């Protein structure tokens, strides 16, 4: 502990939850002025370790020292006082307040108008100093997810954090936004901040990190310098075996049209037009990718084709049947599966068990009961199957899904929706938050599904994923389809231009 270059030293940290050891005597040293990546499969214990370091969880064993001093972190406030700040995956901002107000909120020092002006000036300085682009006067609801994340970063900088913990920040960012974030992180490093970064994307881990620590099953299995390693070694460390990266051959013949969308208009939650004259179709045995910057109508489109929202004009046909006036339940019965983007808020019930959640959209099927009765044993059997097939790490089927790790929760939703006998699968951000192994598995399953004649609408901001899986790619901008291109011949640059609002005719 004489080394004054160590910002944080975790020694022998153990954290147990009912049925799992999330952290198993983990040692970790974060040096001053380094970007240190935590890598590990879903459920390896990354978030837990960070929550221990921010005083949210109390470890069962182990010690923490910050800048050479052994400390007891009893509450998040203790961590903040020591200069430790964390950006969680879901943000805790008040949408109707401005950026500055959100930043000072909770500081609890009774900010008056005058002081608010001061704060605003400081926010502006900070945002210039670290290259965090955000308007201090903007209202939070007007901001994109990426911008909201910047507010969270500013918030912890404002509190004087010297140690920043970022839990999968790039999972919700576009590649450009990720680049900007890395720029900010590097500038923080230059100014002496120490950063823990969590990500499942090995290429970005290789570009941004100084050192990398791999967790497996709650244990630290190695810390390496970035120049001494490569993605293959890292995945080997993480999973303990090779991961094969497959390419996905497209299907030669396509069948009948499964989904036909014609001239669909829809409103967003604020009552403003979100979709304008959207027309496209998806055939059996086809994956249609939908590319676009988040917030350009993808959410509304997904809701319209799954029956959760009624279009204000136009028609939606599933397997030739007009779905006008039909509810979500009829879409489910017609064989439409849906993986929404919001896994906590929409796709699961946090306090219910994994087995209950696994039949969330299927409890009406004869397989899961008779008449008015639900057969919970059948649900448990089904949940067990999902846990095995999708390699979900959980103490058991009775665990409330609230306590699953981010990636494992995503697996539960994907497993449920993908194992349903469906005709059409609508997936938003399918592999968000999944580790490399799970990502490959999900991609392969989607591909298999296509080859068995299923149809998929794949909504994503990840162009590489879209290009590798889709047969065709539609680009959406401001609620309009800019064009639909063949994935084989599509060029990334023209897709990028279309995502920025140019029509296919202008690009080609």
Partner 1 sequence: MRLELRLERSRKLEYLVPVVSVLLSLVVCAVLLLSTGANPLAAYSAMLKEAFGTSYGITEVLVKATPLILCGLGVMLAFKMLFWNIGAEGQLHMGAWGATAVVMTGWDGSPWLMIPAMMLGGFAAGALWALIPAYLKVKLNTNEIITTLLLNYVAILWVAHFIYGPWKDPVSFGFPMTMQFPEGAQLLRLAGTRVHLGFVFALVIAVALYFIQEKSRWGFEIAVTGGNPNAAEYAGMNAGRNILLVMLISGGLAGLAGMVEVSGIQLKLLKDISPHAAPYGYTAIIIAWLARRNPWGVVLVSILMGGLYVGGETVQITMKLPVNIVLIIQALILFFVLGGDILSRYRLVFDRPGQRPKKAALSGG
Ligand X SMILES: Nc1ncnc2c1ncn2[C@@H]1O[C@H](COP(=O)(O)OP(=O)(O)OP(=O)(O)O)[C@@H](O)[C@H]1O
Name the residues that contact partner 1, by CB under 8 A.
17, 51, 56-57, 75-77, 92, 106-110, 307-308, 327-332, 338, 340, 342, 345-352, 356, 359-361, 363-364, 369, 372-374, 376
CA within 13 Å, CB half, 479: 15
Least Å from the CB of residue 48 to Mg ion: 8
Q: With CB cut-offs between 5 and 8 Å by kind, which of Mg ion, ligand X, partner 1, none does residue 20 bind?
A: ligand X
Give residue for tokens 């912890």. Answer: 156
- Characterize the bridge pairing of strands 6-17 and 321-322: unpaired
Among residues 408, 455, 460, 494, which is the contact residue for ligand X, using CB under 6 A?
A: 408
Helices and strands: H and E segment counts in the chain: 17, 22
309 scored as a contact of ligand X (CB under 6 A): no
Segment (H or E) for 341: none
Query: Residues of 46-67 as b/e, b for ≥16 C-beta within 10 angstroms?
Result: bbbbbbbbbbbbebeebebbbb
20 scored as a contact of ligand X (CB under 6 A): yes
Q: Which one, 234 or 316, has the nearer CB to partner 1?
A: 316
407 scored as a contact of ligand X (CB under 6 A): yes
φ, ψ of residue 323 in degrees (nearest 5): -100, 15
Interaction residues for Mg ion, span 31-90 (CB under 5 A) = 47
Q: Which one, 303 or 408, has the nearer CB to ligand X?
A: 408
420 scored as a contact of ligand X (CB under 6 A): no
Least Å from the CB of residue 412 to partner 1: 13
59: nearest Cα among 30, 8, 1, 17: 17
Give residue for tokens 């998806």. Answer: 282
Give residue for tokens 């879903």. Answer: 42
Q: With CB cut-offs between 5 and 8 Å by kind, which of partner 1, ligand X, Mg ion, none does residue 491 bind?
A: none
169 scored as a contact of Mg ion (CB under 5 A): no
Least Å from the CB of residue 23 to ligand X: 8
Q: With CB cut-offs between 5 and 8 Å by kind, which of ligand X, partner 1, Mg ion, none does residue 42 bind?
A: ligand X
Query: How far is it, in rounded angstroms, from Cα 464 to Cα 460?
Result: 10
Q: Which one, 297 or 406, has the nearer CB to ligand X?
A: 406
199 scored as a contact of ligand X (CB under 6 A): no
Whose CB is nearest to ligand X?
407
Per-position x/- string for 395-414, each x denoting binding to Mg ion as judged by CB under 5 A, each - no binding = ----------xx--------
Least Å from the CB of residue 348 to partner 1: 6
Q: With CB cut-offs between 5 and 8 Å by kind, which of partner 1, Mg ion, ligand X, none does residue 115 bind?
A: none
Least Å from the CB of residue 4 to Mg ion: 31
307 scored as a contact of Mg ion (CB under 5 A): no
Q: Which one, 159 or 201, has the nearer CB to ligand X?
A: 201
170 scored as a contact of Mg ion (CB under 5 A): no
Segment (H or E) for 303: helix 298-305
Least Å from the CB of residue 503 to partner 1: 34
Q: With CB cut-offs between 5 and 8 Å by kind, which of partner 1, ligand X, Mg ion, none does residue 374 bind?
A: partner 1
Q: With CB cut-offs between 5 and 8 Å by kind, which of partner 1, ligand X, Mg ion, none does residue 263 bind?
A: none
Query: How far is it, in rounded angstroms, from Cα 202 to Cα 25?
Result: 25
Least Å from the CB of residue 374 to partner 1: 5
Give every strand in the sheet of 455-460, ordered side by side: 336-339, 424-428, 455-460, 287-291, 472-477, 480-486
213 scored as a contact of ligand X (CB under 6 A): no
* Cβ count near 104 (within 10 Å): 22
Q: Both tokens of residue 273?
A: 């037009």
Q: Which one, 66 or 347, has the nearer CB to partner 1?
A: 347
- Characterize the bridge pairing of strands 472-477 and 480-486: antiparallel
55 scored as a contact of ligand X (CB under 6 A): no
Q: Can you tell me whether residue 482 is helix, strand or coil?
A: strand
42 scored as a contact of ligand X (CB under 6 A): yes
Query: How far is it, in rounded angstroms, from Cα 465 to Cα 168?
Result: 18
Please state whether 97 falls in left (phi above 0), alpha (psi between -120 and 50) or beta.
beta
Q: Which one, 194 or 405, has the nearer CB to Mg ion?
A: 405
Query: How far is it, in rounded angstroms, from Cα 49 to Cα 17?
Result: 13
Contact 336/307 with Cβ under 8 angstroms? Answer: yes
Among residues 43, 59, 437, 483, which is the contact residue for ligand X, using CB under 6 A?
A: 43
Among residues 281, 393, 420, 468, which is the contact residue for ligand X, using CB under 6 A?
A: 393
403 scored as a contact of ligand X (CB under 6 A): yes
DSSP state of 149: H
Q: With CB cut-offs between 5 and 8 Å by kind, which of partner 1, Mg ion, ligand X, none does residue 404 bind?
A: ligand X
Give every strand in the sheet of 163-166, ordered side by side: 84-87, 163-166, 194-198, 35-40, 211-216, 219-225
40 scored as a contact of ligand X (CB under 6 A): yes
Segment (H or E) for 239: helix 231-239
- What is the binding site for Mg ion (CB under 5 A)? 47, 405-406
- What is the binding site for ligand X (CB under 6 A)? 17, 20, 22, 40, 42-48, 393-394, 403-408
């Amino acid at each position: 502990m004489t080394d004054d270059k160590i910002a944080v030293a975790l020694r022998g940290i153990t954290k147990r939850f009912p049925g799992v050891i999330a952290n198993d005597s983990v040692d970790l040293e974060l040096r001053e002025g380094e970007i240190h990546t935590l890598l590990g499969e879903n459920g390896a214990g990354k978030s837990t370790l960070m929550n221990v370091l921010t005083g949210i969880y109390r470890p069962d064993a182990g010690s923490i020292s910050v800048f050479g001093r052994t400390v007891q972190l009893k509450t998040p406030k203790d961590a903040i006082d020591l200069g430790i700040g964390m950006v969680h995956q879901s943000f805790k901002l008040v949408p109707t307040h401005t950026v500055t107000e959100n930043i000072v909120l909770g500081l609890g020092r009774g900010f008056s108008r005058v002081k608010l002006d001061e704060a605003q000036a400081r926010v502006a300085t900070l945002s210039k100093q670290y290259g965090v682009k955000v308007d201090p006067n903007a209202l939070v609801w007007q901001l994109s997810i990426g911008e909201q994340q910047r507010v969270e970063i500013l918030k912890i900088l404002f509190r004087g954090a010297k140690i920043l913990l970022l839990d999968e920040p790039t999972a919700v960012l576009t590649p450009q936004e990720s680049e900007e974030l890395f720029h900010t992180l590097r500038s923080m490093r230059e100014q002496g901040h120490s950063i823990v970064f969590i990500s499942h994307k090995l290429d970005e881990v290789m570009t941004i990190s100084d050192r990398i620590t791999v967790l497996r099953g709650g244990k630290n299995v190695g810390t390496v310098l970035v120049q001494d390693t490569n993605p293959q070694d890292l995945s080997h460390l993480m999973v303990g075996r090779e991961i094969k990266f497959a390419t996905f051959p497209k299907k030669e013949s396509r069948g009948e049209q499964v989904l036909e969308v014609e001239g669909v208009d829809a409103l967003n939650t604020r009552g403003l037009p979100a979709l304008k004259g959207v027309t496209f179709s998806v055939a059996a045995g086809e994956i249609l990718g939908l590319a676009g910057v988040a917030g350009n109508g993808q959410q509304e489109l997904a809701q319209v084709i799954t029956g959760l929202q009624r279009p204000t004009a136009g028609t939606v046909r599933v397997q030739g049947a007009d779905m006008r006036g039909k509810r979500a339940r009829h879409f489910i019965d017609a064989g439409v599966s849906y993986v929404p983007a919001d896994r906590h808020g929409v796709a699961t019930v946090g306090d219910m068990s994994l087995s209950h959640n696994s039949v969330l959209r299927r409890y009406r099927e004869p397989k899961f009961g008779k008449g008015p009765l639900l057969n919970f044993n059948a649900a448990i059997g089904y949940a067990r199957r999902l846990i095995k097939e999708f390699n979900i790490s959980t103490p058991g089927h009775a665990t409330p899904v609230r306590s699953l790790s981010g990636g494992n929760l995503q697996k539960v939703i994907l497993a449920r929706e993908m194992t349903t006998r469906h005709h059409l699968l609508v997936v938003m951000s399918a592999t968000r938050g999944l580790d490399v192994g799970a990502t490959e598995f999900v991609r392969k399953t989607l591909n298999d599904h296509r080859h068995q004649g299923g149809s998929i609408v794949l909504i994503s901001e990840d162009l590489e994923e879209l290009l590798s899986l889709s047969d065709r790619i539609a680009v959406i901008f401001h609620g309009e389809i800019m064009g639909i291109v063949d994935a084989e011949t599509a060029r990334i640059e023209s897709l990028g231009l279309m995502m920025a609002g140019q029509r296919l005719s202008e690009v080609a």
